[in-house]
Structure formats: structure tokens, C-alpha cells
Amino acid sequence: MHEILVTLTTVVVIGGSLALNIIGRAGWGARKPKFTQPMPNPVPFVVIHHSESPGACTTTSACIAAMKSMQNYHMDHNGWADIGYSFGVGGDGNAYEGRGWSTVGAHAPGYNNKSIGICLIGNWMYALPPDNQLQTVHQLIQYGVDQRKINPEYKLVGHRQVTATDCPGDRLFKEIQNWTHFTPKP
Ligand SMILES: *[C@@H]1O[C@H](CO)[C@@H](O)[C@H](O)[C@H]1NC(C)=O
Ligand SMILES: *[C@@H]1O[C@H](CO)[C@@H](O)[C@H](O)[C@H]1NC(C)=O
Ligand SMILES: [Zn+2]
């Protein structure tokens, strides 16, 4: 089991003691996309989302179940090609590959071909995601910059700034307004 996890996971150590753990599509049992459209890198935007439902997950098996349920809903109910987000991030501290760095997503109309869409699994209307989940989002963005997938001058926005929605929740939106690349008027 341990060996399987190692082969399906990208572990990246960035400074400090916490490692960024990106679970690839095979690692969470993603379905095959119906089609893909390449996205040019580096992208100039990062869009922050919450899942609202499914709710927060704190174990890897629960976060995998959340990724699968979002993918099923996006493909079978919305009729999309795949899960809409570029990445999910769970309360287990793992990042989960959705469409990834270089495939156009379906998460923020007008921004899908020039952004990485990151979904913090859970409903963050009134509660703040736990530190490990927020930390993983920061590490994932930094890794994307280091890998030249995200422009170092990227602008970070909440979904509600570009679409009429409550996403990413009032409390999380308040939090991201304090992040260095946050842009009030995208
Ligand atoms: C994204 O899509 C829009 C609308 O089709 C297009 O005008 C724009 O050039 C595209 N941007 C990139 C980076 O592909
Ligand atoms: C915003 O960031 C500053 C500087 O990092 C920090 O001191 C402050 O506590 C933060 N405020 C909130 C509301 O998170
Ligand atoms: Zn959203």
C-alpha cells in the first residue's frame, strides 16, 4: 500500500518541514475526461473556490470521496468534460489534481483558459479552513510559480469577484483578501 501511494503521489518539499503532497488523478481514481483543451502556461490568475457541498473532509479517504463526488456531479449533472477545478485541497492537507496545471477548466467563466482554479473542499461561509489546508494552498501556488505554470506576478481572486456567487464563502473570502497577490479589481 505504501509503495502504491508513493508512485501515485508527487511529494515536493518546499522550505520548512511541511511537504506539499499532490495526489494525481490516478491516486484518487479520477474518471477519464470526456475531452481536454490545452491551457497555455504560465497563467496570470489564480481563482479560489470552496466546494460548499461536499463538506469539509479531514481524512484522505473522505477527501477522495469528495473529489469523486464533485467529478461525478460536474460530468453527469452539469455535463462538463471533467471535474471543473484545476485542483482540490482537502482538510487532510493533501492537494488533489483535477484538470491540473495545463488544461482549461470549468470553474470561472471568462477565466477558465487563463487561471488555476483551486477548490478548498468544505463550506467556508462562516468557518475558516484549518491551517494545514490553507498552508497547502499557499504551497501549491508557490510550486506552480516555481514550475512556471503560474506567472510570478499572478493576480489572486475569489470566485465571487468574477461570477455572481457566494463562493468561496464569506469567511474564506475575508481571509484571501489578506493574501499578498489578492487583487480587489481583477
Ligand atoms: C481565452 O478565451 C477567450 C475567449 O474565447 C479568447 O479571446 C482568449 O484569447 C483566450 N485566452 C487564452 C490565453 O487562450
Ligand atoms: C493579515 O496579514 C497580516 C500580515 O501577514 C497579519 O498580521 C494579520 O493578522 C492578517 N489579518 C487577518 C485578518 O488575517
Ligand atoms: Zn467557486
Structure confidence at residue 161 (pLDDT): 98
Q: Is 37 in the pocket of ligand 1 (CB under 6 A)?
A: no
Ligand with minimal distance to 172 CA: 2
Q: Is 40 in the pocket of ligand 1 (CB under 6 A)?
A: yes
Tell me: the pLDDT tens digits for 29-44?
999 999 999 999 999 9
Say yes or no to pLDDT of 7 above 60. no
> Does the predicted TM-score (pTM) go above 0.85?
yes
**Is the distance from CB of 9 to CB of 24 less than 8 angstroms?**
yes
Q: Is 113 in the pocket of ligand 1 (CB under 6 A)?
A: yes
How far is CA 79 from each of CA 38, 103, 121, 185, rounded to the nearest angstrom? 19, 17, 21, 31
Q: Residue 186: pLDDT band by 50, 70, 90 thresholds?
A: confident
Number of H helices, E strands in the chain: 5, 7
Q: Residue 28: pLDDT band by 50, 70, 90 thresholds?
A: very high
Ligand with minimal distance to 102 CA: 1
Domains, the chain, in order of start with CATH, read 22-176 (3.40.80.10)
- In terms of phi and psi (left: phi > 0; alpha: psi -120 to 50; beta: otherwise), the region of 128 is beta
> Probe ligand 1: pick from 113, 115, 151, 154, max atoms within 8 Å of CB?
113
167 C-alpha to ligand 3 centroid (Å):
5
How far is CA 161 from each of CA 53, 110, 119, 186, rounded to the nearest angstrom? 20, 12, 15, 8
Mean pLDDT over 147-160 rounds to 98
Tell me: the pLDDT tens digits for 63-80?
999 999 999 999 999 999
The residue that leads in pLDDT, 14 or 6, is 14
80 C-alpha to ligand 1 centroid (Å):
19
Tell me: the pLDDT tens digits for 82-126?
999 999 999 999 999 999 999 999 999 999 999 999 999 999 999
Which residues have CB under 8 Å from 170's CB, separation 6+? 124, 125, 126
Residue type, 7: T
Q: What is the mean pLDDT of the chain?
A: 93
Rounded CA separation 99/36 (Å): 9
How far is CA 138 from each of CA 1, 3, 18, rounded to the nearest angstrom? 29, 27, 12
In ligand 1, which atom is closest to the CA atom of 40?
13
Say yes or no to pLDDT of 2 above 70. no
Structure confidence at residue 154 (pLDDT): 98
- State what percent of residues in the chain have pLDDT above 90: 89
Residue type, 18: L
Q: Is 151 in the pocket of ligand 1 (CB under 6 A)?
A: no
116 C-alpha to ligand 1 centroid (Å):
15
